[in-house]
Structure formats: structure tokens, C-alpha cells
Amino acid sequence: MVKASQQEYEELIKGIWRDNPVFAQVLGMCPMLAVTNSAINAIAMGGATFFVLVGSSFLVAAFKSWIPKQVRISCFIIIIATFVTVADYTLLALIPGVHKELGAFIPLIVANCLILGRQEAFASKSTIRLALLDAIGMAAGFMLALLMLGAVREILGDGALFGIKLFGTQFEPWVIMILPPGGFLTLGLLLLLFNWLAVKRRKFLDEVIKAERGQS
């Protein structure tokens, strides 16, 4: 029993940092870069993706024994597209301003490889409970990455965060950061940071193992 709950915890937590969909697996880049020129847009996109990923993981895990193997991809895509349509119309009704700014990128959540990837690799092979936990973890990790990128780009490119000006009038915004090249460069540098942390962690673990061996 203890083991089972540990596995559940593991599925939930892995998506947030260690197997982070963006930094570790490099999935779902397209919406990631296109909408992260401000932190608000990043949160709206993250929220919509969260809803779609959790909803479709639930349905796929629930219906996995009825979906024929040969047409599974098409079935997954139709399920995902349904949830995206719901998210699209909901955002249009609730926050029309943000919806207009995100534009075509809300429907494009369908083509986010992260979502289809999770259905194919995980939800279609596991129980509803685990699939939900996995989806929540992955979506939270995705949202975290979106927010990091959006915050960096908005602070540097606009001198503001969530629309609140952070610096005085002397600050000259780096306009390039909210333009397309800034997205590529910021994500590249964030990945570099992630790699560096991963390498450091591995070195640390190696040393721990060595020290333990030395003792015994």
C-alpha cells in the first residue's frame, strides 16, 4: 500500500522538474514560444493547456479498452480537439481581451505534441488515477516553464511584470525580447541553465556514491 502511494506521488512530481516537458523533454515548444511575450498570456495559455491535458488524459484512460489500437491516434486527437474547442469558447466568453491576443494559438493547442505524447506514452496504458496524476504533474511543469519564460521576456522586453512597471522611466526596454528572436534566445539560455543544474546534480550524486563506497 505504501509502495502504491509512493508510485502515485512519483507520477505526480516527475513532470514538474525532473522530466519537465519543456526543459527535459523539449516538447510543446510551439505554443510555448509564441505566446510567452507577457506573463498574463503565459498563464492563460498554461491554464488552457492544463484543462485540455487533464481532461483528455482522463477520457483516454477511461476509454482505453474500447479504442481500437489501429486508429488510436485519430481517437486521441478527436478527444483533444473537443476539449480545445471547449477551452477556446470558454476563454472567449470569460476574457475576450486575452483570447484576442492569443489568437490562433488557442486552437493550436490541439497540435501541442506534449498532449498527444502523454496520451500515447502514458494515459493509454495506465489507470485513470495514475493518468490524472501524471497529467496534472506534466501540465503544472508546462505552466511553470511558460511562466518562467513569460516573466523573463516581459521584464526585459517591457520593464514590467503582469503589466505593472518595475523600473523607473530611465529603463530602456529590450524590445528584441518580446519579438520572436527573444523567445528563441531566452528559451535557449533557460535550457542552458537547466543543463548546468542537471550536470551539477549528477556530479554531486557521483561524489555521494563514491564517498559511500569509500566508507564501506
Partner 1 sequence: MQDLVWIFVSALLINNFVLSYFLGLCPFLGVSNSLETSFRLGMATTFVMLITALCSWVLNTYLLIYAPYLRLISFIVVIASTVQFIEMLVRKLSPALFRALGIFLPLITTNCAILGLAIFATNKSYGLIEGLVYALGAGLGFTLAMVLLAGLREESELSDVPALIQGTAMNLIIAGILSMAFMGFAGLFSAA
Residues binding partner 1 (CB under 8 A) = 26-27, 29-34, 73-74, 77-78, 81-82, 84-85, 88-89, 103-104, 107-108, 110-113, 116, 176, 179-185, 187-189, 191-192, 195-196, 199
In terms of CB distance, is 196 or 204 closer to partner 1?
196
In terms of CB distance, is 19 or 85 closer to partner 1?
85
In terms of CB distance, is 9 or 204 closer to partner 1?
204
Give, in degrees to the nearest 5, the angle at Cα 28 between 23 and 32: 80
* Residue 63 to residue 38: CA distance in whole angstroms: 38
Residue 68 corresponds to which amino acid? Answer: P
Instruction: For the CB of residue 9, give the shortest distance to partner 1 in the complex, in Å.
Output: 29
In terms of CB distance, is 99 or 133 closer to partner 1?
99
Q: CB count, 10 Å around CB of 94?
A: 10
Q: DSSP 3-state assignment of 201?
A: helix
In terms of CB distance, is 13 or 191 closer to partner 1?
191
Instruction: For the CB of residue 196, give the shortest distance to partner 1 in the complex, in Å.
Output: 6
Q: Which residues pair with 164 in a beta bridge?
A: 161
* Residue 166 to residue 92: CA distance in whole angstroms: 30
Sign of CA dihedral 132, 112, 188, 186: negative
Instruction: For the CB of residue 213, give the shortest distance to partner 1 in the complex, in Å.
Output: 26
* Residue 23 to residue 154: CA distance in whole angstroms: 20
Q: DSSP 3-state assignment of 165?
A: strand
Instruction: For the CB of residue 5, give the shortest distance to partner 1 in the complex, in Å.
Output: 34
Sign of CA dihedral 192, 53, 108, 40: negative
Instruction: For the CB of residue 8, give the shortest distance to partner 1 in the complex, in Å.
Output: 28
In terms of CB distance, is 34 or 128 closer to partner 1?
34
Strand ranges in the chain using DSSP code E only, listed in sequence order:
160-161, 164-165
Instruction: For the CB of residue 157, give the shortest distance to partner 1 in the complex, in Å.
Output: 14
Cell 521576456, residue? 153
